[in-house]
């Protein structure tokens, strides 16, 4: 155990770290799409030889946290992970409007992922890589759920991190990781092309191709069939249930990224026993 830290204290520190990073992840989820759209608009204006727009600072560090409805600053005590939202009973202290349940759920997920990875990998550098991958998938899942957007600024580093993970910790698995990235991208690209040719509609976005490529880099190509089965089954069941509850959703596009992320978490945290069970079932 690093530095002879007592077991209870180690688990507590890891849980607090996960909650805190989950809180920061909410900032990424909320602000990154706006930052990207501002950047795209600036590039478009430059291409059209238009004067740049003047706007106040907006990035991951500033301005300070504020209510998205009334824009009142949020006090530090109300920014405490989980406790702040619970203390406010899910409402802004200033305008009393509801605060999205997304915030405590993402914070809680960050804490749970931290504890799960610690339990499975111990306090190692390998655990840090896996935890970072889980958090990146969490950010991608929520952004895609909200906006149907999988930003390259998250998916591409996730892909390279998967290859680096194998290079550092499992070098014998690096060829499988490279093939996993290639086949992950190509499989959804081919399915998309076939679906578009048959139906004349777009079946999914290119972000899904890149996300599956990133997951292929992490888990290797032998795990891709199971990953696709899990993600497709989850997406199909959710789609059928949501349409049954709300018939107006029929025919509406549904993001696939969250289900790829769910399958990715399952593979990262329990890939070997799931694969053994899968092979036993199909044998």
Domain boundary assignment for the chain: 1-123, 129-283
Question: Quick check: 29 pLDDT over 60?
Answer: yes
Sorted by sequence, the CB contacts under 8 Å of residue 111 that are 6+ apart come out as 15, 16, 18, 19, 22, 81, 82
Question: Quick check: 224 pLDDT over 90?
Answer: yes
Alpha-carbon gap, residue 101 to 99, rounded angstroms:
6
Q: Is the pTM of this model over 0.95?
A: no
- Tell me if 192 sits within 8 A of 199, measured CB to CB: no
Q: % helix / strand / coil in the chain, to the nearest 5? A: 75, 0, 25
The reported pLDDT for the residue numbered 3 is 53
Question: Quick check: 140 pLDDT over 80?
Answer: yes
pLDDT interval class at 248 (50, 70, 90)? confident
The reported pLDDT for the residue numbered 52 is 84
Which is nearest to 26 in space by CA: 129, 103, 93? 103
**Picking from 76-85, 195-204, 225-234, which range would have the lowest pLDDT averaged per residue?**
195-204
Q: What is the dihedral of CA 148, 154, 155, 158, to 10 degrees?
A: -150
CB atoms within 10 A of CB 39: 11
**Picking from 86-95, 124-133, 161-170, 180-189, which range would have the lowest pLDDT averaged per residue?**
86-95
Q: Please give the biggest Cα pair distance in the chain.
A: 64
Question: Quick check: 252 pLDDT over 90?
Answer: no
The reported pLDDT for the residue numbered 116 is 97
């Amino acid at each position: 155990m690093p530095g002879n830290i007592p077991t209870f204290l180690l688990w507590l520190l890891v849980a607090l770290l996960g909650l805190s990073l989950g809180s920061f992840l909410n900032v990424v989820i909320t602000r990154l799409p706006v930052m990207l759209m501002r950047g795209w608009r600036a590039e478009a204006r430059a291409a059209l030889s238009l004067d740049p727009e003047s706007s106040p600072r907006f990035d991951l560090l500033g301005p300070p946290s504020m209510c998205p409805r009334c824009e009142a600053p949020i006090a530090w005590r109300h920014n405490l992970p989980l406790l702040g939202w619970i203390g406010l009973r899910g409402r802004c202290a200033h305008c009393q409007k509801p605060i999205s349940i997304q915030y405590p759920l993402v914070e809680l997920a960050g804490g749970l992922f931290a504890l799960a990875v610690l339990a499975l990998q111990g306090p190692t550098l390998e655990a840090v890589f896996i935890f970072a991958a889980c958090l990146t998938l969490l950010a991608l899942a929520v952004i895609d759920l909200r906006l149907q957007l999988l930003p390259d600024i998250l998916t591409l580093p996730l892909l390279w991190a998967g290859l680096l993970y194998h290079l550092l910790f499992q070098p014998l698995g690096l060829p499988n990781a490279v093939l996993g990235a290639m086949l992950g991208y190509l499989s959804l690209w081919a399915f998309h092309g076939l679906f578009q040719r048959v139906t004349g509609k777009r079946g999914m976005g290119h972000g899904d191709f890149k996300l599956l490529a990133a997951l292929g880099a992490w888990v290797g190509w032998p795990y891709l069939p199971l990953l696709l089965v899990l993600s497709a089954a989850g997406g199909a069941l959710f789609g059928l249930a949501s349409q049954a509850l709300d018939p107006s959703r029929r025919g509406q596009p549904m993001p696939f990224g969250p289900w790829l992320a769910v399958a990715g978490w399952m593979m990262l945290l329990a890939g070997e026993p799931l694969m053994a069970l899968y092979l036993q079932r199909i044998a």
